[in-house]
Amino acid sequence: MAYHITLLPGDGIGPEITEATVKVLEATGLKFEWDVHIVGQQAQDKFGTPLPETVLESIKRNRVALKGPVTTPIGSGFRSVNVALRKSLDLYACLRPCKTYAGAPTLFQNVDIVVVRENTEDLYSGIEFAKGSQEAKQLSELVARSSGEKLRENSGFSLKVISETASRRIVKFAFEYAHTHGRKKVTAAHKANIMKFSDGLFLAVAREVAKDYPDIEFEDVVIDALCMRLVRAPQQYDVIVLPNLYGDIVSDLCAGLIGGLGLAPGANIGDDVAVFEPTHGSAPKYTGQNKVNPMAMMLSAVLMLRHLGENEKANRMEKAIAAVIQEGKTVTYDLKPDRNQPASTTSEVADAVIGKMKTA
Ligand code: NAD
């Protein structure tokens, strides 16, 4: 039986790392039927929308997608396809494991953190009012009436929305993940001392949910303190659950702890569907150079195989990637101790991983 998977290669470095990842997945011996779609600028040019309905239909039908990064124009142009996908499919949990592999260039050893990021609200709700707009004016008037605060006329607004519903399901997801993966501790990060009605709500709900999991330790920490502690002693963290924006930043920070974005996989998970993609973006300056590290996308594919119940193949693929990193011979520039050393290409890494899978 073949797995039917929606494949979104994305843009920038997306197509190169997707090709390398698909090659490795096919070498596991599993069969895949790839339903390939374009999104982002390419889809905008061809279909007049960056996220065609056919893409959402395909993911809903297959229930699993593997996705490369997609560029979001800054300041103007279309809104993020990545955010739109997560919102349209209600992929409320973003799972980003960050684990040190022997041989990776990092100051830290024995890091094994799973970042669980809320994916649908917070400052990413997409509810924004531009400076000078009628809506910005009305909002300023409402704020003046209700709080007495006079806002500057030349202000723009992005709304920070935190609901009890979304907070409960993401914290529950983090505890369930901890429970099923033998994890010992969940840390909730927030800034509830300052944002009492948004982060405060998130924290109150987290404390409530924690009571249902007496076997798992729970702690909370303010986000700035978490960042400092993460770079001093990351080993003390296990599962960290955060609202959307903090989750985005902390997952890049954790990627830095383990050797960089080239090694940081991710998954966006909802009740019905899951989209697997690396933490990193489309790194446009490296487009078409066959130069970047495909391992973050390969490790995202490992998460996908586990999601499909293919644990044995997933373990074999992860072991092969770990062996290539440890050997340090066929790795891309970002995993070399000195960036001036000659490095391997994206496709050579794919062949090396396949080689290790064959000999394992
Ligand atoms: P980025 O993650 O694309 O790249 C930042 C830097 O990290 C790169 O210049 C490169 O030095 C390094 N890097 C990233 N991936 C690497 C890899 N696989 N191997 C080796 N080095 C790697 O971040 P950015 O430059 O801020 O964003 C570029 C675009 O990607 C933006 O349009 C942004 O919106 C988008 N983006 C998309 C996603 C997504 O599709 N999920 C996520 C983040 C950013």
pLDDT of residue 7: 98
- Does 67 qualify as catalytic in the annotation? no
306 CA to centre of ligand 1 in angstroms: 25
Residue nearest to atom 40 of ligand 1 (CA): 69
Question: How does pLDDT run across 225-252, given as a tens digit for each residue?
Answer: 999 999 999 999 999 999 999 999 999 9
H and E: helices and strands count for the chain:
12, 12
Is the pLDDT assigned to residue 76 strictly greater than 80? no
Ligand 1 touching residue 299 (CB < 6 A): no
Q: Ligand 1, from 13, 280, 344: best to mutate by most atoms within 8 Å of Cβ?
A: 280
Q: Is 191 a catalytic residue?
A: yes
Helix, strand, coil % over all residues of the chain, rounded to 5: 45, 15, 40
Catalytically annotated residue among 92, 101, 124, 237: 124
Distance from Cα 1 to the centre of ligand 1, integer Å: 35
Residue 301 is encoded by which pair of tokens? Answer: 């594919």
Q: What would the DSSP string read from start to end of 104-150?
A: SS-S--S-EEEEEEE-SSBTTS--EE-TT-HHHHHHHHHHHHHH---
102 with 331: CB under 8 angstroms?
no
Report CA(90)–ligand 1 centroid distance (Å). 23
The answer to whether the CB of 190 falls within 8 A of the CB of 199 is: yes
Element (H, E) at 225: helix 223-232
Residue-wise pLDDT tens digits, 252-286 = 999 999 999 999 999 999 999 999 999 999 999 99
Q: C-alpha angle with apex 176: 209 to 233, nearest 5 degrees?
A: 85
Q: Tell me if residue 124 is catalytic.
A: yes
Q: For 285-298, how does the pLDDT look when each residue is reduced to its tens digit (9 = 90+)?
A: 999 999 999 999 99
Instruction: Please give the average per-residue pLDDT across 23-46, as a whole number.
Output: 97
Q: Read off the pLDDT of residues 131-169 as tens digits, 9 standing for 90 and up.
A: 999 999 999 999 999 999 999 999 999 999 999 999 999
Q: What is the pLDDT of residue 246?
A: 98
In whole angstroms, give the CA distance from residue 141 to residue 162.
23
pLDDT of 98 > 80? The answer is: yes
Distance CA 156, CA 242 (A): 25
Share of the chain above pLDDT 90, in %: 93
Domains of the chain in start order, with CATH, are 1-89+264-360 (3.40.718.10), 107-122+160-258 (3.40.50.2300), 126-159 (no CATH)
Is 267 strand, coil or helix?
Answer: strand
Instruction: Assess whether pLDDT exceeds 90 at residue 77.
Output: no
Q: Let me know if 248 is a catalytic residue.
A: yes
283 lines ligand 1 (CB under 6 A): yes
pLDDT at 337 over 80: yes
